[in-house]
Amino acid sequence: MAETGRVAANSRVTIAAHALAWLELARRQGRDVLTSEEVAASVNTNPVIVRRSLGDLQRAGLVTARRGAGAGFSLARGAEDITLLDVWLAVSPEPLLALHHSEPNLECPVGRGIRPVLSDLYDEATEAFRATLARQSVAAVLERILQ
């Protein structure tokens, strides 16, 4: 975790998937709602980080939040219907791979040609990444965890 309290982009999906798997296991054990503190205890991180993640998941329609008595979070739909791609899209707004922030030197043969070549490769890699995540549900992840 960075000093600012922000979570590294590549761990956002892990935290969110962990939270969803824990919510599903709790549901299977008869507990439909967990507090962010209970989820944070499983993730072993600050509840504020978990609340941010759960907020992203709520905005994406993957979890619901209850206020008042019995407050907490629960899955918005079946764990078998939530893919890791859904999770990634909910919590990782950045592209998987990015080009230079500034334009490279167009007078250089590498600088002139690198962007279109890497763009094509990055698009292909992102497609493969997304396809892999789309094949795995939260329920399938939990089953592998419990083996």
Q: Output the domain CATH number for residue 73.
A: 1.10.10.10
Q: Distance between CA 21 and CA 78 in Å, rounded? A: 11
The pLDDT averaged over each successive group of 10 residues in the chain (147 residues) is: 50 95 96 94 94 96 90 95 97 84 90 93 94 97 96
Euclidean distance between CA atoms 131 and 84, whole angstroms: 10
- Domains: count for the chain: 1
Which pLDDT belongs to residue 8? 62
Asked, for residue 38, whether it belongs to a domain, the answer is yes
pTM: 0.86
Q: So what's the pLDDT on residue 3?
A: 37
pLDDT of residue 141: 97
